[in-house]
Chains A and B, each alone.
Chain A
């Protein structure tokens, strides 16, 4: 019950954040972002023609009005129709978001789980060769750009220059095999890059925890290393781990989805956002930016509740 109350309170507290970020992004979008004006006009338009088109698109209405409208759209998750295709934005989202989730969840989960597992291994053997090997590989993962990784993996896994096992582009979820065929290479690329950062971070967290007094106490009372790592150390590391996972969500949504989906030609929300940016499709952009912000605020809230669950010193006040 108090968890529920707390969640509500936090959600209310998250509203100003939501307002701030949407106001900021809305301003950027409306005054500096791409829009449809010139796409709809012929060559050398007159000032009057421009004004006319802008009026038709509603760009000339007062800022406060447009922002208020945007907030209403956010609250009702109804963003009108796409300027490019005329499709309802809500149905576009309903079509693309599940694709993005199916595409990115495996990589996200694996990237974190494997990162923690490798970090535990490295920390356990710290200073010896398994540690050095894992840390060396993670530096490689960190230093290569995501785009290069995608490109190399595509050549390697998807073309006759390499293994030629998977399609370069496209998406399908008709069957599990179909899904796996399309999701494997993007997932590998995601995991490769995420592992670099995650492993280093998690290792640092675990090594710090290993040096704490209570770990020495546990050892002094005969705790075995496996027990020590899985129980005593990992639970104490939960807060930084949760924090990291939550704070990488926006990066995953924005960077991951955008790059992966455009590179692999996957019809997810990232690709839709990319196309909206290119064509200046404001209704779609507004929806994506607003929902990403909302997602982040909710993720922060979930993190707060999880903190409470893993660490008794955090109170729900």
Chain B
């Protein structure tokens, strides 16, 4: 890449959940880099650990039942996992902001938009109430909320889904973070709104010169929005590449399967990633070797012995496969 030092670097991240049935490794040794100002897509089937990975970055994995069991998260040279909780609070919302999938429930129903925005602003910046309100108004205007002067004193239930998500975006931008983590920010919205909100996110990301991790199901969104993509399967990274390389020349059989199934499904909107035949292994009984083996057309005996390591490809990406597509 053109940027030598990553803004965010995950190394061998492991997140475990204690469930009734036993301990589940939702994230199993994930490593990835996010460089300043780039937008990185995190793609993969439902349940592969995208949200948990995203939450770990802010140390928001619900605990119990979950916990970060290993690895490191470095942000701008600092080890986030070594920070005390108070230090972490200062990072949340100021250096790294996160927006969530469900605009319906992500905002507090009993406080006005202005109160919630102002709260975040005043938490991280020394501003008076009046100044915070002015800043909130400017932000609402900026994220494209009509009549911000009226909306600011309304409650979340008085806003549409798209407007609520815009409020979330305004909140995320309010302290000028250097990294925005967006967990499927448009999945819950209708198609038109989806496109508008996504456009807004793209514009503001460039304007604020933030890096972004965009978690998504939608490969179309990846192609339109992101410079690089990381493909996850079953709690692990199976492929990482620039978007251009990923779409023109996917290496991992799973990625190939995902891309192959796009054209015939493209007309109907994708709520989920396209379906690849076969089932994801039970997280409580993971196979010894490659986790994709049961669904993989290129599987060999070797694949079932030891998990394939993530290795560099000729075109500068990474792939975890013994028999990658050339």
**A-facing mask of B58-93, CB < 8 A → 1, else 0?**
101010100000000000000000000010011111
Which positions 105-150 of chain A face chain B at CB distance < 8 Å?
127
Residues A224 and B89 in contact, CB atoms below 8 Å apart: yes
Q: How long is the Cα–Cα vector from A214 to B171 in the complex, in angstroms?
A: 13
**A-facing mask of B120-156, CB < 8 A → 1, else 0?**
1001100000000000000000000000000000010
Q: Does B5 contact A (CB under 8 A)?
A: no
Contacts of B108 in A (CB 8 A): 214, 217-218, 232, 236
Contacts of B106 in A (CB 8 A): 213-214, 216-217
Contacts of B171 in A (CB 8 A): 221
Q: How long is the Cα–Cα vector from A223 to B102 in the complex, in angstroms?
A: 19
Which of B90, B120, B124 has the most C-beta atoms of chain A within 10 angstroms of its own C-beta? Answer: B120
Q: How long is the Cα–Cα vector from A238 to B94 in the complex, in angstroms?
A: 30
Interface size of B in residues (CB-CB distance below 8 Å): 31
Q: How long is the Cα–Cα vector from A70 to B94 in the complex, in angstroms?
A: 67
Q: How long is the Cα–Cα vector from A238 to B105 in the complex, in angstroms?
A: 18
Q: Does A251 contact B (CB under 8 A)?
A: no
Q: Does A220 contact B (CB under 8 A)?
A: yes
Q: Does B109 contact A (CB under 8 A)?
A: yes
Residues B93 and A213 in contact, CB atoms below 8 Å apart: no
Q: Does A9 contact B (CB under 8 A)?
A: no
Q: Which of B60, B110, B123 contacts A235 (CB 8 A)?
A: B110
Q: Does A313 contact B (CB under 8 A)?
A: yes
Residues B155 and A221 in contact, CB atoms below 8 Å apart: no
* Nearest CB on B from A70, distance (A): 43
Which of A222, A235, A236 has the most C-beta atoms of chain B within 10 angstroms of its own C-beta? Answer: A222
Q: Does B157 contact A (CB under 8 A)?
A: yes
Interface size of A in residues (CB-CB distance below 8 Å): 22
Q: Which of B64, B93, B110, B168 contacts A311 (CB 8 A)?
A: B110
Q: Does B98 contact A (CB under 8 A)?
A: yes
Residues B110 and A310 in contact, CB atoms below 8 Å apart: yes
Q: Does B100 contact A (CB under 8 A)?
A: yes
Residues A219 and B100 in contact, CB atoms below 8 Å apart: no
Which positions 203-246 of chain A face chain B at CB distance < 8 Å?
211-214, 216-224, 232, 235-236, 238
Residues B109 and A221 in contact, CB atoms below 8 Å apart: no
Residues B120 and A221 in contact, CB atoms below 8 Å apart: yes
Residues A223 and B100 in contact, CB atoms below 8 Å apart: no
* Nearest CB on B from A232, distance (A): 6
Q: Does A62 contact B (CB under 8 A)?
A: no
Q: How long is the Cα–Cα vector from A222 to B111 in the complex, in angstroms?
A: 17
* Nearest CB on A from B54, distance (A): 10
Q: Does A312 contact B (CB under 8 A)?
A: yes
**B-facing mask of A234-266, CB < 8 A → 1, else 0?**
011010000000000000000000000000000
Q: Does B30 contact A (CB under 8 A)?
A: no
* Nearest CB on A from B127, distance (A): 15
* Nearest CB on A from B244, distance (A): 32
Residues B110 and A220 in contact, CB atoms below 8 Å apart: no
Q: Which of A127, A211, A216, A312 contacts B109 (CB 8 A)?
A: A312
**B-facing mask of A139-176, CB < 8 A → 1, else 0?**
00000000000000000000000000000000000000
**A-facing mask of B35-64, CB < 8 A → 1, else 0?**
000000000000000000000001010101
Q: Does B97 contact A (CB under 8 A)?
A: yes
- Give 6 A-B contacts (CB < 8 Å), ordered by A residue: A213-B105, A214-B105, A220-B97, A222-B92, A222-B93, A222-B120
Given contacts A222-B90, A311-B109, 7 further A-B contacts (CB under 8 A): A213-B106, A220-B92, A220-B100, A221-B120, A222-B94, A223-B119, A235-B111
List chain A positions with a Cβ less than 8 A from chain B. Answer: 127, 211-214, 216-224, 232, 235-236, 238, 310-313
List chain B positions with a Cβ less than 8 A from chain A. Answer: 58, 60, 62, 64, 86, 89-94, 97-98, 100, 102, 105-112, 119-120, 123-124, 155, 157, 168, 171
User: Which 4 A-B pairs rank lowest in CB-CB distance, beginning with the nearest?
Assistant: A221-B93, A213-B105, A222-B92, A222-B93
